[in-house]
Structure 1
Amino acid sequence: MRSARKTRGGKLAVCGIRTSWNTIGDGEFFCEECGGDRNYRRRTGRRRFAVLGVPLLPRGCTGPVVECAACHTHFGTEVLERPTTGRFSAMLRDAVHTVALAVLAAGGTASREVLDRAVRAVRSAGYADCTAVQLVDLVEALEADTGRFMPEINPEGALLAIEIHEAVAPLTPHLEPAGREALLLQAARIALADGGYSPAEQEVLGTVGTALGLRPEDVLRLLASARTVS
């Protein structure tokens, strides 16, 4: 180990503060500096006043910080709140799948056009092997399992609304406004594939808009625009 460090001008630094880092955890995160998923180390540090590179007097603690294992940049721990690229893709895939099922459940699965539109949406989100038969089976299984679409058991569709929020709300903070609108428009076009909106479809789409953090007036605007955008 060097007895002292050099300054930028090449002179020897006689004294300064040195930090001794201790790793207390690790994992994977999205590194803003690298621009992709990387491993990280969660670290805390002890600062000491050093003379000629020799640590002498304690100067308190620092951290915790998140250190990228690739570029070694330090970040605040709030960076871990952002999902990795892989996690984000999974969240988006599950949200699209759940919303498509909700629209099908509200409007029915009799229309081939609606099913085809839903299949395309789900496949584009990452479920490449999705089929119309699978979606129909899932809708029927949900109805049989919970009775969520049976008025005498669940008159207000509360269970369906909960599932929509559970799938969509965690994704919402990580979507740009345009991405939130695109998700609702996609759902609206599924509902419109066989004509206009039914009251049940409008209710579901309103729930999706709420989960996406969209204002009611923006939801109405987007549902109207979906009628004219292919």
Structure 2
Amino acid sequence: MVQGRGQNGTKPRAVGILERIWTTRTSWTTVGDGEFFCPECGGDRNFRRRTGRRRLAVLGVPLLSRGAAGPVVECAACETHFGTDVLDHPTTTRFSAMLRDAVHTVALAVLAAGGTSSRTVTATAAATVRAAGYDDCTEEQLITLIEALAADTGRFLTDTEADPCGAALAIELHESLEPLAPHLAPAGRESILLQGARIALADGPYSPAEREVLTTVGGALQLCTDDVARLLAAARTPS
């Protein structure tokens, strides 16, 4: 007959004694380390990547192997164990850099599609990039970079009217935005698209090339077609 718990919810004395005699212990070995975003601490922390071996212990003496444990990621601060997929989440520092680079790439893509002849557009683009974290960004720097990219055959478009969002430009946007999108709330993804839209609208309505680029931006940010259309229309409405 199996003994249940006592009236106060505690384990029977005999069960407690057996657990002290027969236990399973895990011996951990560190196989790597680094920095990650710890969900338990809520910030960037050092981690240890560990694998282990489970053993049945009698009176504290390991005897029989019970198989492998892990691998796990152990926070060096709180010592909580996580699955290795926790490393897929960027650190706060890395996330900030990814966000900054995403806005910079979108600004360049819009300028490449719409041109840099309008000072209103280049000023808006520079202000957007500075707000994202590139504090020293100037209009002249963006124009110089666009000219250099245009001279780099195959990187950006040479005929925007014939093909307003060519394969090279689409790849550039997807490489910058797709890794970031899963870590952004919907409002954050929409914000990046709207920043690009406001650059395009700084000198008037969207050109076909600008609209095509912004549609590609929305797709790379995992926004559905209807949401992209709604946001591009909303950006045209004065606040």
- The equivalent of 1:149 in structure 2 is 157
Question: 2:181 matched to 1:161?
Answer: no
Question: What amino acid sits opposite 1:181 in the alignment?
Answer: E
Alignment of 1:23-62 (within 5 A): 23-62=30-69
Question: What amino acid sits opposite 1:192 in the alignment?
Answer: L
Tell me the SS of whatever aligns to 1:167. helix
Determine the C-alpha separation between the residues in 1 that align with 2:89 and 2:144.
34
Question: 2:149 matched to 1:106?
Answer: no
CA apart distance, 1:186: 0.8
Determine the C-alpha separation between the residues in 1 that align with 2:159 and 2:130.
31
- The equivalent of 2:225 in structure 1 is 216
Tell me the SS of whatever aligns to 1:65. strand
- The size of the alignment, in residue pairs, is 222
Tell me the SS of whatever aligns to 1:146. coil
Q: Alignment identity in percent?
A: 70
Change beyond 3 A, Cα 1:50–1:229: farther
Greater Rg over alpha carbons, structure: 2
Determine the C-alpha separation between the residues in 1 that align with 2:53 and 2:67.
6
Tell me the SS of whatever aligns to 2:152. helix
Alignment of 1:83-102 (within 5 A): 83-102=90-109
Determine the C-alpha separation between the residues in 2 that align with 1:127 and 1:31.
27
CA apart distance, 1:143: 0.6
Determine the C-alpha separation between the residues in 1 that align with 2:238 and 2:22.
67
Question: 2:180 matched to 1:171?
Answer: yes
Question: What amino acid sits opposite 2:174 in the alignment?
Answer: H
- The equivalent of 1:180 in structure 2 is 189
TM, length-normalised to structure 1: 0.91
- The equivalent of 2:200 in structure 1 is 191
Stretches of structure 2 lacking an aligned partner (at least 5 in a row): 1-9
Determine the C-alpha separation between the residues in 2 that align with 1:20 and 1:221.
56
- The equivalent of 1:67 in structure 2 is 74
Question: What amino acid sits opposite 2:159 in the alignment?
Answer: P
Determine the C-alpha separation between the residues in 1 that align with 2:131 and 2:26.
48
Tell me the SS of whatever aligns to 1:139. helix
The one of 111, 119, 125 equivalent to 2:126 is 119
CA apart distance, 1:37: 0.6
Question: What amino acid sits opposite 1:96 in the alignment?
Answer: V
CA apart distance, 1:229: 4.7
Determine the C-alpha separation between the residues in 1 that align with 2:45 and 2:30.
16
Stretches of structure 1 lacking an aligned partner (at least 5 in a row): 1-7
CA apart distance, 1:157: 2.0
Tell me the SS of whatever aligns to 2:141. helix
Question: 2:28 matched to 1:18?
Answer: no
